[in-house]
Amino acid sequence: MELAFLLAPIFAFVLLRGIVEHRAKERAERRRAFEQALTDPRIDRATMQLLAQALVGARLPRQGPSRSMAALLAVGWLTLFSGLGVLALGLIARISEAPAAGALTALVGFGLVTYPFALRELEARHKAGQGAE
């Protein structure tokens, strides 16, 4: 048992070191391939720009919504319709506190659903305001 406690960190270190070295080797090979591609006179300017951005690790701007905003939107939809379901169930079953809880939950869900759209609108207005100056 004591031998396992001694060998486990050593094994983990060797494994981690191998992974890091393998990634460094792949990164160096990829960089070398990019550099060779950039020296090719047959490539057009747009391809050269994309290769240069990939070489330095620059990321292209995302066109779609971010994952966090998509997750927030999904949670908002679930919350909104869960709240509406609790509201309807409370009214049908005549449970005294359920409609209020359902209405509050639906309101929170509506806020979560509209939040990403409001942020996008504010960002668009901010960019338009900067462009006018």
Express each pLDDT in 6-34 by its tens digit: 888 888 889 999 999 999 998 888 888 87
* pLDDT the model gives residue 40: 78
Q: Is residue 74 domain-shared with residue 51, that is, in the same domain? A: no
Residue-wise pLDDT tens digits, 63-88: 556 788 888 889 999 999 999 999 99
Higher pLDDT, 103 or 64: 103
Q: Is residue 71 domain-shared with residue 126, that is, in the same domain? A: yes
Q: Is residue 96 domain-shared with residue 125, that is, in the same domain? A: yes
Q: Is residue 20 part of a domain?
A: yes
Higher pLDDT, 130 or 126: 126
Q: Is residue 120 domain-shared with residue 76, that is, in the same domain? A: yes
Residue holding tokens 């060797």?
A: 14
**Number of domains into which the chain is organized:** 2
Q: Is residue 72 domain-shared with residue 103, that is, in the same domain? A: yes
Q: Is residue 39 domain-shared with residue 75, that is, in the same domain? A: no
Residue holding tokens 């005549």?
A: 94
Q: Is residue 23 domain-shared with residue 49, that is, in the same domain? A: yes
Spatial separation of the C-alpha atoms in residues 14 and 7, rounded to whole Å = 11
* pLDDT the model gives residue 37: 78
Q: Is residue 44 domain-shared with residue 85, that is, in the same domain? A: no
Q: How confident is the model at residue 131 (pLDDT cuts 50, 70, 90)?
A: low
Q: Is residue 62 part of a domain?
A: no
**DSSP for 114-128?**
HHHHHHHHHHHHHHH
Task: Look at residues 73, 75, 82, 115 and name the one whose alpha carbon lies nearest to residue 101.
Answer: 82
Range of the domain at 31: 2-56
Q: Is residue 35 domain-shared with residue 89, that is, in the same domain? A: no
pTM over 0.75: no
Query: In whole numbers, what is the pLDDT of the chain averaged over residues?
Result: 84
Judge whether 113 and 73 are in contact, CB under 8 Å: yes
Q: Is residue 30 domain-shared with residue 85, that is, in the same domain? A: no
Q: Is residue 99 domain-shared with residue 45, that is, in the same domain? A: no
Q: How confident is the model at residue 41 (pLDDT cuts 50, 70, 90)?
A: confident
132, pLDDT greater than 70? no
Average pLDDT over every residue of 42-64 = 70
Spatial separation of the C-alpha atoms in residues 109 and 88, rounded to whole Å = 15
Q: Is residue 12 part of a domain?
A: yes
